[in-house]
Amino acid sequence: MDTATRPSIISIGPEHLQELRLVARQTFYETFCDTNTRENLNKYLESSFNTTKLLKELNHPCSRFYLASINGNVVGYLKVNTCDAQTETQPKGSFEIERIYVVKAWWGKNVGQALLDLAMQVAAELKSSYVWLGVWEKNYRAVRFYEKNGFEVFDTHVFHIGDESQTDFLMKRDMPVYRGE
């Protein structure tokens, strides 16, 4: 990625609620509009990306959010979780990437890679034993992206979007073992 298109990534808090809400809704819709009904998408967007829910997530001490921008325009975001903020019960030392989403116009331009690289850096700083995430089994592009980055399927879970149940792959990547000095 050349420096002209390298995203600037900042850690965000409640003061960025509206920016986060807009990019979250846009990117989720762009990612899944071709494979889900408008009704189910709208139900999900309203329940998952309303200001009350997002503000609660932004204020959770075990969640972190990051916005990626290029030339002042938000082009994606990242949400990571530890401890009780994780969406599935995991052993101590686990680190969840709950969301990496990129504005469709920036797909394939390494914004997602920059966000994943940051997530892996944060996981390493926290001395996490492994990083895991959930990805819809039919989101072939994302599954390939995570496989290319060393993630492997270790389980599945059900993800609800509106009145439809879908299967997500749970994927993980072990982190190097930290040996204290």
Residues with Cβ within 8 Å of residue 124, at least 6 apart in sequence: 175, 176
Residue 139: both structure tokens together = 């989101």
Tokens 């408008």, residue located = 38
| Other Cβ atoms closer than 10 A to 37 | 13
Separation between Cα atoms, residue 7 and residue 118, nearest integer Å: 11
**Quick one: which H or E segment has residue 142?**
helix 140-148
* Active-site residue list: 146
Angle between the 17-32 and 51-59 helix axes, to the nearest 10 degrees?
Answer: 110
Separation between Cα atoms, residue 117 and residue 82, nearest integer Å: 17
